[in-house]
């Protein structure tokens, strides 16, 4: 770790954090286990060099702590038998080698199943196949290697379920027919969301800086409008805004200006700052928390680990609609934001489980 790392900074109720270096390359690795109360910690591995940070190892450490805590909430709300964990390999994804991935797999194996690893930014399904050669606690593999494949399919299913439930809650609509939706990011998840919504009669406008992603989305969702800039899609007069690119899209300014009545998408960490949840609520915008609706992928990798099928996992991802209704109703009746209501619901499940099982951690 860099000299600037304070091991207690951000350590909010985490059970343990493993910090290691690959012997051959000196590349740093961090595994953060936030909670194993509900079961083995489950969460992806991010490969990132944190090149812009003054201390990349401190930045990686902070990221692992923050992301693993979020996984505890996501897994609990999704009803999974898993706590939250997350890992970071502090390297540019171009530095990946089979040896590095094997070394990482051996590190995860030292935890003997307390942490199940999977993919995240910079780690592909093919990488997970390689990691699984030295680590049986790897999930999110390709069908050729016994996995269930691309998790974006069920992530889109869960987001769509949450979007429909939010639309019904906010505007009393029981379908998306005639609803206008702005989609930011037309990648694996956003492209599928555009496809389903367009097929069901929604008016879709989307934006992605990658021309290939735009081309694919046009094929997937004939009739959708592809915007020429991010500003164009954010300024569009729509009922729903669906963030499916990177985090931080929901700034205080956007919260004050968006025409959308519902915000629901897959991107992690959509709120640029926590206060945005309150700003959206004050303007009557229904925000479906990202960690509540984007759990389809984690449902899929949990099913893969348990030997389940895509069919059962899909049904579980559809249940995001029920959770969304419960959380939005709770937020309304308690006068809190949906983010607070979702966190409360997630923590209640953990506390109940701990009380039932007498666990101390
Ligand atoms: P992806 O990488 O396939 O798609 C992301 C798209 O966003 C890319 O096409 C990229 O060009 C675009 N993009 C980048 N900057 C942009 C900008 N400024 N404006 C608009 N578009 C921009 O990723 P994927 O799998 O579709 O994931 C989308 C989001 O959902 C990510 O934030 C991811 O962390 C999150 N997520 C994905 C899950 C999954 O199973 N794939 C699970 C849970 C969350």
Phi-psi region of 358 (alpha: psi -120 to 50; beta: other; left: phi over 0): left
Atom of ligand 1 nearest to the CA of 150: 40
Are 164 and 278 contained in the same domain?
yes
Residue 163 · residue 127 · CB < 8 Å:
no
Residue 11 lies in a domain: no
The residue whose CA has the least distance to atom 12 of ligand 1 is 185
- Residue 329 is part of which domain span? 153-294+322-339
Domain boundary at 121, 149, 177, which? Answer: 149
Count of domains for the chain = 2
Element (H, E) at 41: strand 41-47
Are 125 and 213 contained in the same domain?
no
Q: Is 315 in the pocket of ligand 1 (CB under 6 A)?
A: no
Helix (H, G, I), strand (E, B) or coil at 144: helix
Task: Using most ligand atoms within 8 A of CB, pick from 226, 246, 303 the residue to mutate for ligand 1.
Answer: 246
pLDDT at 243: 98
Question: CA 148, CA 137: separation in Å to the nearest integer?
Answer: 15
Question: Which CATH number goes with the domain that contains 30?
Answer: 3.40.50.10860
Residue 245 · residue 213 · CB < 8 Å:
no
Quick one: DSSP state of residue 186?
-
Are 91 and 236 contained in the same domain?
no
Question: CA 183, CA 205: separation in Å to the nearest integer?
Answer: 6
Question: String of b and e for 312-327 (b: at least 16 CB within 10 Å)?
Answer: ebbebbbbbbebbebb
- From first to last of the 361 residues of the chain, give the pLDDT tens digit: 555 667 666 667 899 999 999 999 999 999 999 999 999 999 999 999 999 999 999 999 999 999 999 999 999 999 999 999 999 999 999 999 999 999 999 999 999 999 999 999 899 999 999 999 999 999 999 999 999 988 999 999 999 999 999 999 999 999 999 999 999 999 999 999 999 999 999 999 999 999 999 999 999 999 999 999 999 999 999 999 999 998 899 999 999 999 999 999 999 889 999 999 999 999 999 999 999 999 999 999 999 999 999 999 999 999 999 999 999 999 999 999 999 999 999 999 999 998 888 776 5
Question: Which CATH number goes with the domain that contains 209?
Answer: 3.40.50.720
Are 158 and 290 contained in the same domain?
yes
pLDDT at 20: 97
The residue whose CA has the least distance to atom 32 of ligand 1 is 267
Domain boundary at 149, 173, 199, which? Answer: 149
Question: CA 361, CA 350: separation in Å to the nearest integer?
Answer: 11
The crossing angle, in degrees rounded to 10, of helices 152-171 and 188-199 is: 50
Are 57 and 120 contained in the same domain?
yes
Are 201 and 127 contained in the same domain?
no
Residue 163 lies in a domain: yes
Residue 353 lies in a domain: no
pLDDT at 150: 85
Question: CA 297, CA 134: separation in Å to the nearest integer?
Answer: 23
Are 213 and 271 contained in the same domain?
yes
Residue-wise DSSP of 290-342: HHHHSTHHHHHHHHHHHT--HHHHHHHHHTHHHHHHHHHHHHHHHT--HHHHH
Question: Given 69, 74, 86, 96, which residue is catalytic?
Answer: 86
pLDDT at 5: 65
Domain boundary at 149, 183, 199, which? Answer: 149
Q: Catalytic annotation on 86?
A: yes
Rounded to a whole number of angstroms, the CA Rg of the chain reads 20
Alpha helices per DSSP H over the chain: 56-77, 98-109, 125-131, 152-171, 188-199, 211-220, 230-235, 252-257, 275-282, 290-293, 296-306, 310-318, 320-334, 338-357
Residue 42 · residue 120 · CB < 8 Å:
no
Residue 317 lies in a domain: no
Residue 278 lies in a domain: yes
Distance of CA 16 to the CA centre of its chain: 22
Q: Angle CA(166)–CA(169)–CA(172) in degrees, nearest 5?
A: 115
Are 126 and 172 contained in the same domain?
no
């Amino acid at each position: 770790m860099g000299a600037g790392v304070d091991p207690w900074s951000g350590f909010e109720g985490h059970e343990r954090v493993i910090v290691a270096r690959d012997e051959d390359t000196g590349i740093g690795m961090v595994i953060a286990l936030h909670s194993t109360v509900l079961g083995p910690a489950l969460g992806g591995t991010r490969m990132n060099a944190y090149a812009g940070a003054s201390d990349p190892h401190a930045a990686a450490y902070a990221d692992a702590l923050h992301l693993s805590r979020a996984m505890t909430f996501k897994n609990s709300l999704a009803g999974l038998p898993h706590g939250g964990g997350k890992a970071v390999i502090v390297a540019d994804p171009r530095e990946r080698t089979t040896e590095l991935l094997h070394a990482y797999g051996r590190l995860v194996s030292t935890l003997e199943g307390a942490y199940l690893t999977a993919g995240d930014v910079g780690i592909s399904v093919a990488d997970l196949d390689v990691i699984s050669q030295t680590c049986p606690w790897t999930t999110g593999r390709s069908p050729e290697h016994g996995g269930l494949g691309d998790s974006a399919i069920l992530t889109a299913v869960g987001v769509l379920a949450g979007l429909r439930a939010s639309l019904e809650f906010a505007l009393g609509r029981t379908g998306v027919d005639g609803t206008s939706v702005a989609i930011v990011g037309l990648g694996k998840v956003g492209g599928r969301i555009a496809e389903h919504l367009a097929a069901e009669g929604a008016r879709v406008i989307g934006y992605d800086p990658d021309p290939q992603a735009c081309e694919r989305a046009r094929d997937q969702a004939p009739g959708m409008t592809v915007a020429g800039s991010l500003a164009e899609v954010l300024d569009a007069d729509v009922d729903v805004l669906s963030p499916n690119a990177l985090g931080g899209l929901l700034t205080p300014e956007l919260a004050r200006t968006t025409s959308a009545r519902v915000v629901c998408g897959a991107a992690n960490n959509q709120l640029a700052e926590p206060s945005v949840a309150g700003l959206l609520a004050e303007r009557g915008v229904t925000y479906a928390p990202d960690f509540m609706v984007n759990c389809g992928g984690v449902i899929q990798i949990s099913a893969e680990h348990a030997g389940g099928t895509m069919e059962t996992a899909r049904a579980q991802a559809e249940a995001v609609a029920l959770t969304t209704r419960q959380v939005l109703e709770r937020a309304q009746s308690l006068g809190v934001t949906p983010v607070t209501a979702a966190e409360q619901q997630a923590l209640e499940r953990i506390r109940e489980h701990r009380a039932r099982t007498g666990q101390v951690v």
